[in-house]
Amino acid sequence: MGSRDSRRILGPEKSIPYSLLQTQEMKHFLAEDGLRWDGRSAVDPRKLFMSVGVISQAKGSSYLEVGNTKVCCGVYGPMDVQRGSDFNMSCKVLCEVKMAPFSCSVRKSPQPDKQQREMSRQLKDALETVIVLDKFPKSQIDVYLTVIEDDGGLLAACITAAGLAICHANIDVYDLVIGASLLWHDGILYADPTHHEEECEGHKIRNSGSEGGQLTVGIMPKYANGQVSLLVQGGQISADNLCEGLEVAVEICQRIYTLSRKTLIDYVEQSLEANSDSS
Amino acid sequence: MVDVNLSDAEKRYIVDGVKLGTRVDGRDHLDYRQLEIETGLVSTANGSARIRLDRTDVLITVKMEMEPPLLDQPKNGQLHFFVNCSANAAPEFEGRGGEDLATSLSSMLERVYSSPHTLNTAKLCVVPGKHVKVLYVDIEILECGGNLFDAVSLGVKAALWATKMPRIYITGEDGGELEFSVSDNPCDVDRLDVS
């Protein structure tokens, strides 16, 4: 299973996860009453919890829970770039997404695999559009994300968490970037899919090739007038469906945006109270 | 993609020209540059193509191998994409500089070819659960003159179309292991359907 990590004690080479031998039962996406298996309608997003200031050592940090997906983000910077050869008149953004080995039902190797590297690169692209890079010449900003549990909508959760943490770190941005993820299955649009729904869809696309796909967008809702900073689409979706999906995504992002703002404002008020209490 | 330091006047010239609907080389905003595709260049590979889009030059080769299938897809073959940005293409690709671009190109191609509509991997199966054909697509960026994504995806399609895989016949069974014979006849080949 790829290159062996010589620094850690790993399991036997030919081990396979037992879940592959189990028969996968595909739950129906929509039951008869029009609700999904967890009680949501097709376009309802999951419950959200966010907080900032969770990592005391980091300049900015945030913790986000979307349903069961849990992501923690730490932002360090702007710091001086180590090597003189990397001097650039705009800031360098370094982004790393690390998934904990216990985050998925199949154990992930501690070494970053292709999916994690791709997510890191996509997140870096999204953040480079959001941060005002020209304000920090010859500097770099490090964004580290740890995924504690993956239950669908992972890239969207990472985008939202990173946006929150960067704002908490007092780094100049054009707007708070929020992520949303969507799924098309049998012609119906589902907002904020869970891991099981994403897997069923992926399985179905590979085997039967019918129309269906996934979409993750990062949107800057307010000050940038709904500009899209990242769009990742997989599968086969017609252009009309894509436009409809984008509108739903913008609506979801607006709702999450109000919550993010409130979280940041509450944090500032709390720290002001704490300062005035201690002084 | 050599970094050319443009003066402010040149930048204004380009931006104002685009606002009027003309680009620096005289094209309209939706016009393509001249495109050339050649196939069948590399005799050691099952399929190959070279695509030239003005200054962009990409060479793609396809090689077929037989391997056991993935556990969760026992009846499907596989496609693997490897992109190599050679240092000839641009000075910043020297060493590991081109790795970011290479991973983004290969992940884009994997996403595109994951659907059975693009390429039906069920046709690459030889013995379900035991042996499938795996296609290794190697992409070499020889010169980078812009619009790499278009050039690479066109070139991969051309190379896959030109791929000739020798037909494999199952001749017998010897103690549980199947024996294969690969046809030597250059005309007895399987082609891929990339429509």
- Residue of A121, A125, A184, A215 for testing the chain B interface, max B β-carbons within 10 Å: A121
- pLDDT tens figures, B54-81: 888 999 999 988 888 887 777 888 889 9
| Interface pTM, i.e. ipTM | 0.74
Interchain proximity B115–A206, CB inside 8 Å: yes
Residue B61 sits at the chain A interface (C-beta within 8 Å)? no
The answer to whether the beta carbons of residues A201 and A152 sit under 8 Å apart is: no
Averaged pLDDT, B4-20: 84
Position A32 confidence tier, pLDDT thresholds 50, 70, 90: low
Q: What local confidence, expressed as pLDDT, does residue A157 receive?
A: 95
Among A77-86, B158-167, B183-192, name the most confident range: B158-167
Taking the domains of chain A in order of start, what are their residue ranges?
44-270
A86 contacts A79 by C-beta, under 8 angstroms: no
Residue A92 forms beta bridges with which residues?
A140
* Structure confidence at residue B54 (pLDDT): 84
Q: Is the minimum CB–CB distance between B129 and chain A shorter than 8 Å?
A: no
In this structure, CATH architecture of domain A44-270: 2-Layer Sandwich (3.30)
Nearest-CA residue of chain A relative to B113? A235
CB-based contact (8 Å) between B114 and chain A?
A: yes
* pLDDT attached to residue A148: 95
> Which residue in B71, B111, B114 is closest to A206 by CB distance?
B114
Buried b (16+ CB within 10 A) or exposed e, A24-53: eeeeebeeeeeebeeebebeebbebebebb
pLDDT of B1 strictly over 60: no
Q: One-letter amino acid identity for B84?
A: N
CB contact under 8 A, A209 and B116: yes
CA distance A208 to chain B (A): 7
pLDDT digits (tens, 9 = 90+) for A164-213: 999 999 999 999 999 999 998 888 888 898 888 888 887 777 666 667 88
Residue labelled with tokens 């204004």: B12
User: Any bridge partners for residue A72, and if so which?
Assistant: A63, A146
Task: Determine the residue of chain A that is closest to B117 in CA distance.
Answer: A209
Cα(B11)–Cα(B13) distance, integer angstroms: 5
User: Coil, strand, or helix at residue A121?
Assistant: helix
Could you say which of B71, B73, B103 has the minimum Cβ distance to residue A118?
B103
Question: If you average pLDDT over residues A37-66, what whole number do you get?
Answer: 90
Give the residue from B35, B62, B51, B43 showing the smallest Cα distance to B143. B51
Q: Nearest by CB to B71, from A16, A205, A209: name it.
A: A16
Q: Lowest-pLDDT range, A44-53, A54-63, A234-243, A256-265?
A: A234-243
